[in-house]
C-alpha cells in the first residue's frame, strides 16, 4: 500500500493558478502563467480590450475554521503593495474562484496588519455575516461567472452599493 501524496504549498498555488486559468478560458478569456516570483501570477487578456491585466492568485486546498468547532473560513492575505491589478481567490476543494480588483480588495479587507499585509475573509456556505467576517453570499458579485460576464460586456465589476 502506498502513502497518500503530500500536497505542498507550491502545488496548492500552482493548482489555484490553473483553476483560475481554466475558469477564465471557459468564458473565452485568455491568460498565461508567469514563471517569475514577482507577486504577479497570471496575465489575462479580455477579448475586445487592447490591454492585458495582471492577477495575483491566492489558493486554499480546503477552507478551515480558525477555532475548534468553528465555521470554515476562506481568506485572502495579500500585501498592501500588491502590484497586480486583480486578486483571485481559488478554493480548490469546491472549484470556486473569486476575482476582485486589488484596489477594491484593499478597501474591503477587514485587517490591515502592521507588517503591510491585508486580510479579506469570509465564512463559506454562509449567507449571514458573523462579526467582521463577510458571509460567502456577500462575495457572490466577485465569483468568476459574474465577473467574466461583466468583463466581456465591458462593464464595471464593482457591485452596486460597494465603494
Identify the pLDDT of residue 158: 62
Identify the pLDDT of residue 69: 82
pTM of the model: 0.90
Identify the pLDDT of residue 130: 78
Residue 135 CA to residue 123 CA, distance in Å, equals 5
Residue 132 CA to residue 2 CA, distance in Å, equals 43
Give the three-class secondary structure for 6: coil
Identify the pLDDT of residue 117: 97
Identify the pLDDT of residue 84: 97
- Which domains does the chain show, CATH number per domain? 9-153 (3.40.1350.10)
* Torsions phi, psi for 83 (to 5 deg): -85, -15
Listed as ranges, residues in the chain with pLDDT below 70 are 1-4, 157-163
Q: How far apart are the first and last CA of the chain?
A: 55
Cβ count within 10 A of residue 83: 11
Cβ count within 10 A of residue 14: 15
Amino acid at each position: 500500500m502506498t502513502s497518500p501524496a503530500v500536497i505542498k504549498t507550491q502545488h496548492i498555488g500552482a493548482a489555484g493558478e490553473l483553476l483560475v486559468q481554466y475558469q477564465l478560458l471557459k468564458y473565452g478569456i485568455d491568460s498565461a502563467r508567469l514563471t517569475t516570483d514577482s507577486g504577479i501570477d497570471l496575465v489575462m487578456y479580455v477579448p475586445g480590450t487592447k490591454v492585458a491585466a495582471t492577477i495575483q492568485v491566492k489558493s486554499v486546498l480546503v477552507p478551515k475554521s480558525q477555532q475548534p468547532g468553528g465555521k470554515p473560513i476562506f481568506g485572502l492575505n495579500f500585501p498592501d503593495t500588491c502590484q497586480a491589478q486583480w486578486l483571485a481567490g481559488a478554493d480548490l476543494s469546491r472549484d470556486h474562484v473569486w476575482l476582485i480588483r486589488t484596489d477594491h480588495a484593499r478597501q474591503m479587507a477587514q485587517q490591515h496588519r502592521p507588517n503591510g499585509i491585508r486580510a479579506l475573509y469570509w465564512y463559506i456556505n454562509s449567507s449571514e455575516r458573523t462579526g467582521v467576517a463577510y458571509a460567502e453570499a456577500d462575495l457572490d458579485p466577485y465569483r468568476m461567472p459574474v465577473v467574466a460576464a461583466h468583463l466581456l460586456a465591458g462593464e464595471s465589476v464593482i457591485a452596486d452599493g460597494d465603494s
